[in-house]
């Protein structure tokens, strides 16, 4: 198939490379000239594990362009542009509507336009109105890739949702995936259901995280351990162990935006989503609550103490700091300077954090001689603290429950605190 992907971000690029690796001819369109320059020089402009390597393998089948007219012979056009959060919590649809307008004159007869961007219910109806051509088929195809694991998720999806009432269009898209993905994972729904599946899935996972974070607060009061509670709960196959890791609250470009957009959308339809609203509020408060816990500890230190923070990205495996709890937490720590290290996200963090932060080149440099070490992102490399020696009394606040509690609590000079433990 000839496929065009509009947007070369965290969804567009892995999707384009993945589809090229299935043997399709793919053109990826982006109007950001700086990004295009990087792409055309053969470099992926964002960090995603394995992406650069996959690009090297498929580059004969993948082109980048700034011209929408380059989609002219595409059978399938995938919209993968951003739908960021507007000030009122709704999804800002200006980019997706603009993309729909831009592609319209270049669409060949019988082409399929599939929306992978997360869009509110009814957006694809509007895209259809914008395109306003009876020969074009607009499909909702929500994306479930996780940042950091995007290629893994592309090649091993739990499901491919194809939102269309048109059987022939469904089969044409199904054919792209059928030799690579088990048939039972590919399902057809109507467009509105497909749009809602995405929001409901993200909101459910966000609620699961907020739920375990609330249970974690209770654990701290009653001498229970949230890590054990998660394991015990997760052994029930109806509940499942995933997304039950207590921590500093969810961040990133998806859960915060999508829970807000879902709440907004439901309100417009006269429906109150109490659970989702409570999750949004609780998750927002959590990062500030964590910052004040850190401030409570810092109060006891003298002015020459060293405060070290490990982790800036909203989760491990990515350089993305959008709505990262770590960024808000650092911004609310009343101390200067704060030493910080993150294996991938420091360049991005430098653009938004104040000069109170001193970035280090390594974990060792960051934690050396620190009085307090705070872990805010669960990068596996931070586990090297389990083997480190501490020359002076050090408080380690492990807000991702990353380190082995057994090893840390017996370590000389270390006071080790985890989340969800008294
Ligand atoms: C999320 C969904 O998991 C994807 O399926 C979806 O495609 C994507 O949003 C999207 O809408 O595009 P992502 O934002 O990459 O993916 O990140 P997640 O791995 O879901 O993590 C989200 C946040 O929850 C992170 O801040 C993470 O640290 C936090 N989290 C996750 C926890 O605090 N505890 C957990 O147990 C799991």
For residue 251, the ligand 1 atom closest to its alpha carbon is 26
Write out the E strands in 203-247.
none
**What average pLDDT score do residues 147-158 get?**
95
Q: Class for domain 190-422, per CATH?
A: alpha beta
pLDDT of residue 233: 98
CA pair distance 275, 190, nearest whole angstrom: 26
Tell me if residue 28 is catalytic.
no
pLDDT of residue 303: 85
pLDDT of residue 414: 97
Q: Give the torsion sign (CA, 321, 325, 331, 334).
A: negative
Domain 2-188: CATH superfamily, name plus number: NAD(P)-binding Rossmann-like Domain (3.40.50.720)
**What are the pLDDT digits (tens) for 309-340?**
999 999 999 999 999 999 999 999 999 999 99
CA pair distance 341, 359, nearest whole angstrom: 6
Residues within a 6 A CB radius of ligand 1: 118, 143-147, 202, 205, 209, 243-245, 247, 250-252, 254-255, 314-315
Who's near 394: CB < 8 A, 6+ residues apart? 367, 370, 371, 372, 373, 413, 414, 415
- CA nearest to 29, candidates 62, 56, 2, 67: 67
- What is the secondary structure of 330-359 as a DSSP string? HHT---S-EEEE-TTTHHHHHHHS-TTEEE
* Alpha-carbon torsion, ordered 186, 191, 194, 199, to 10 deg: 170
Is 217 annotated as contributing to ligand binding? no
Q: State the pLDDT confidence band at 210, using cuts at 50, 70 and 90.
A: very high
Ligand 1 mean position, distance from CA 198 (Å): 13
Whether 225 and 219 have beta carbons less than 8 Å apart is answered as yes
Residue that has been written with the tokens 């961007």 in this structure: 117
Is 243 annotated as contributing to ligand binding? yes
Structure tokens at 88: 């009122």
Whether 14 and 154 have beta carbons less than 8 Å apart is answered as yes
**What are the pLDDT digits (tens) for 338-351?**
999 999 999 999 99
- CA nearest to 133, candidates 157, 167, 100, 162: 100
Nearest protein CA to atom 24 of ligand 1, as residue: 250
pLDDT of residue 72: 86
CA pair distance 341, 347, nearest whole angstrom: 11
Which of 17, 28, 219, 254 is catalytic? The answer is 254
Q: Is the pLDDT of residue 89 over 90?
A: no
Cβ-based neighbour number of residue 32 at 10 Å = 14
Q: State the pLDDT confidence band at 96, using cuts at 50, 70 and 90.
A: very high
Who's near 11: CB < 8 A, 6+ residues apart? 80, 116, 117, 143, 145, 150
pLDDT of residue 212: 98
pTM: 0.95
pLDDT of residue 201: 98
Who's near 296: CB < 8 A, 6+ residues apart? none
What stretch(es) of the chain map to CATH 3.40.50.720?
Answer: 2-188, 190-422
pLDDT of residue 387: 96
Nearest protein CA to atom 30 of ligand 1, as residue: 250
Is 147 annotated as contributing to ligand binding? yes
Average pLDDT, the chain: 96
Is 279 annotated as contributing to ligand binding? no
Nearest protein CA to atom 13 of ligand 1, as residue: 146
Q: State the pLDDT confidence band at 85, using cuts at 50, 70 and 90.
A: confident
Nearest protein CA to atom 2 of ligand 1, as residue: 146
């Amino acid at each position: 198939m000839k496929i065009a992907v509009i947007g070369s971000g965290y969804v567009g690029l892995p999707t384009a490379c993945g589809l090229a690796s299935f043997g399709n001819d793919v053109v990826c369109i982006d109007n950001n000239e700086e990004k295009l320059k990087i792409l055309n020089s053969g470099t992926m402009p964002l960090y995603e594990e394995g992406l650069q390597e996959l690009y090297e393998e498929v580059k004969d089948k993948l082109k980048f362009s700034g011209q929408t007219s380059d989609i002219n012979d595409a059978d399938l056009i995938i919209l993968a542009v951003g739908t960021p959060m507007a000030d009122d919590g709704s999804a800002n649809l200006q980019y997706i509507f603009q993309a729909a307008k831009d592609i319209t004159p270049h669409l060949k007869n019988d082409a399929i336009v599939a929306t992978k961007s997360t869009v509110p219910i009814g957006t694809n109806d509007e895209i259809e109105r914008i395109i306003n051509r009876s020969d074009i088929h607009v499909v909702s195809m929500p994306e479930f890739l996780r940042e950091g694991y995007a290629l893994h998720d592309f090649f091993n999806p739990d499901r491919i949702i194809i939102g269309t009432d048109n059987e022939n269009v469904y089969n044409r898209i199904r054919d792209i995936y059928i030799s690579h993905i088990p048939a039972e994972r590919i399902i057809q729904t109507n467009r509105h259901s497909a749009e809602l599946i995405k929001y409901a899935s993200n909101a459910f996972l966000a609620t699961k995280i907020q739920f375990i974070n609330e249970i974690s607060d209770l654990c701290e009061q009653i001498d229970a351990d949230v890590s054990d509670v998660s394991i015990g709960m997760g052994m029930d196959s109806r509940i499942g162990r995933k997304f039950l890791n207590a921590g500093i609250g969810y961040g990133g470009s998806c859960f915060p935006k999508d829970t807000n957009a879902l709440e907004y959308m439901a309100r417009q339809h006269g429906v109150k989503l109490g659970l989702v609203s409570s999750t949004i509020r609780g998750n927002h408060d959590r990062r500030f609550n964590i910052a004040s816990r850190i401030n409570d500890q810092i109060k006891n230190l003298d002015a020459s103490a060293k405060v070290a923070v490990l982790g800036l990205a909203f989760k491990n495996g990515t350089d993305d700091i959008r709505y990262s709890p770590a960024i808000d937490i650092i911004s609310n720590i009343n101390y200067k300077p704060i030493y910080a290290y993150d294996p991938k996200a420091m360049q991005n963090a430098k653009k938004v954090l104040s000069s109170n932060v001193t970035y280090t080149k390594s974990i060792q440099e960051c934690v050396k001689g620190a009085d307090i070490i705070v872990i805010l992102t669960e990068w596996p490399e931070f586990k090297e603290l389990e083997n480190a020696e501490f020359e002076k009394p050090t408080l380690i606040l492990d807000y991702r429950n990353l380190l082995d509690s057994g090893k840390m609590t017996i370590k000389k000079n270390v006071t080790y605190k985890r989340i969800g433990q008294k």
